[in-house]
Amino acid sequence: MFLIGVDEMVHEWALAESIADYIERELSKKGKKNIAKIVIKLGILQSIDKEILDFALKEIIKSRDYRVGEIVYEDEEVILKCRRCGYEWRINPSQLDEAIREAIHFVPEAVYSYFKCPRCGSRDFEIVRGRGVSIKEIILGDNNE
């Protein structure tokens, strides 16, 4: 258990805000105001605090003109791929040193300072999966007037 700094909370709130904006755009395109369920994928690279994100998202949605039933979060593992030799490998951010995790949390590109291809040693790799937040699925609710 450790204390969460203010900056860290601001990051989750900013993410929640952009999810809420996304939902709003999707609903207004469809002329709807009610979601039964939304599935949000969280890339684990940035060690996003799910509890803060969930709290923030629910608070923000209260102030919006639509309603969301169930919010489900799914972790997306991190897969890196070497641009030089094509090797793909996984990393598990929860096993990293806390200072490194924090650096990557704020600046995902910091990952390039801490990892290199296990096969050829190149730092020229891409983040194939596990970065950022994405919406996997939105299920509209009933009685959507």
Task: Write out the residues near Zn ion by the rule CB under 5 A.
Answer: 82, 84-85, 87, 117, 119-120, 122
Instruction: Name which of 41, 44, 47, 62 is nearest 11 in CA terms.
Output: 47
Smallest gap from residue 85 Cβ to Zn ion (A): 3
Smallest gap from residue 80 Cβ to Zn ion (A): 10
> Quick check: 92 and 104 in contact, CB under 8 A?
no
> Quick check: 131 and 141 in contact, CB under 8 A?
no
Name the token pair of 33: 């105001």
Smallest gap from residue 117 Cβ to Zn ion (A): 3
CB closer to Zn ion, 85 vs 135 = 85
CB closer to Zn ion, 81 vs 101 = 81
> Quick check: 104 and 47 in contact, CB under 8 A?
yes
CB closer to Zn ion, 116 vs 129 = 116
The residues that bridge with 76 in the sheet, in sequence order, are 43
HEC letters along 60-96? HHHCCCCEEEEEEEEEECEEEEECCCCCEEEECHHHC
Smallest gap from residue 130 Cβ to Zn ion (A): 18
CB closer to Zn ion, 78 vs 117 = 117
